[in-house]
Amino acid sequence: MNSLDNIFKRSLASAETPAPSGLWSKIDKSLSSSETTAHLKKEALNQSKSLFSSLISTSILVVSIGVCSLLVSKNNIPVAQNNLPKTLPEKTSPIRERISQKTKTTKTQPKARNSKPSLHEIKLKSTPVTVITKINKNVPDLPLVAQPETEFNTQTNTAIKPSTLPDKIEEALNQEKKEEIHKKGEFVTFTIKYNNTSGKRVKNLKVWEEFPDWCDARTLETLGHNTTHQVKTIIKESQNTVEWKIKGDFSPDLLNPSNTGFIEYRVKINEDRKTSDLEKNKPGVK
């Protein structure tokens, strides 16, 4: 450090300048609105969960009753016999077998497309990107999960949310059109939510996302996040991906166990981006 630096440090390191009047009211307003938004989001999630649960319960009940009625009428079995004895062997009980099959089918419904809205989906109404969140390779034993329905692969250390969207823009745009939400050329806002379920502190975190061709990573803008640490956004044009590197340099508790975080961003729906553009940007091709 030279004398010039010293003069600046001495004069400015602990200097105070009165903050603009009226700024507190803006902060107060933002805090109130974020508290309200958080409350509303929580309520919406709870409502969706309870609605979903009741839908599943109802559909199981309806399917079971329907199947029972059908089988009872087909096999001409009195209704009283629906209460099948549990000791009855499987092979000699076609009714039990069929009911069981139907029930299994119903239970698999939550895994089907758009059947159970995650936080992400609730906010967006539709999910036009594949969300893949990876953890930093330097923290190999961390099961970090990006979405409530994310499957965690312990071998590759990645958390992958199955894609719920079509790969082709035409399908996506048609889908959007039906719901009257987004059109080509518009920006779509997304939120990635992550949760440390590992029981260990995380020091360095890398969140990344890849887009289908019709979402152009070059148009990405990070809108916000809830971390106090540095967030570095790296857009890889050649791969149509983005990485957010969150680094903790002063505190060991970058992400404590069970803590959550989010990153909000927006991208433009763009059908003009072609595979040839991606090829041009590959390293070494230029």
Partner 1 sequence: MNPTELNTLIEGCKRNNRVSQRELYDAFSGLLFTICLRYSKNEAEDLLQMSFIKIFNNVKQYQGAGSFEGWIKRITVNTAITHYHKKNILSKSEDITDYKEEVSSDVESSLEKMSKNDLIEVINSLPDIYKISFNLYAIEGYKHNEIADMLGISEGTSKSQLSRARKMIQQKLKQTELMEEARTI
Q: Which stretches of the chain bind partner 1, using CB under 8 A?
A: 1-5, 7-9, 11-20, 23-24, 26-28, 30-31, 34-35, 221-222, 226-234, 247, 249-253, 256, 259
Q: Min. distance of Cβ 182 from partner 1 in angstroms?
A: 23
Q: What gap in Å lies between CA 258 and CA 202, rounded to an integer?
A: 11
Instruction: Please name which of 237, 230, 223, 244 lies closest in space to residue 275, comparing C-alpha atoms.
Output: 237
Closer residue to partner 1 in complex, CB, 9/113: 9
Q: Give 145-167 as a DSSP string.
A: ESSTT-EEETTTTEEEPPP-S-S
Closer residue to partner 1 in complex, CB, 184/266: 266
Q: Min. distance of Cβ 240 from partner 1 in angstroms?
A: 17
Closer residue to partner 1 in complex, CB, 84/223: 223
**Cβ(38)–Cβ(30) under 8 Å?**
no
Closer residue to partner 1 in complex, CB, 31/51: 31
Closer residue to partner 1 in complex, CB, 20/140: 20
Q: Min. distance of Cβ 86 from partner 1 in angstroms?
A: 52
Closer residue to partner 1 in complex, CB, 115/191: 191
Q: Min. distance of Cβ 31 from partner 1 in angstroms?
A: 6
**Where are the strands (E) in the chain, listed by range?**
132-134, 144-145, 151-153, 158-160, 187-196, 204-210, 215-225, 230-236, 241-247, 260-269
Joined tokens for residue 249: 């340099």
Written in H, E and C, the secondary structure of 26-43 is HHHHHHHHHHHHHHHHHH
Q: Min. distance of Cβ 229 from partner 1 in angstroms?
A: 6
Q: Min. distance of Cβ 125 from partner 1 in angstroms?
A: 26
Joined tokens for residue 68: 């029972």
CA distance to 22, 112, 127, 237, 256, per residue, from 163 (Å): 46, 11, 9, 21, 28
Angle between helices 23-75 and 94-108 (to 10 degrees): 160
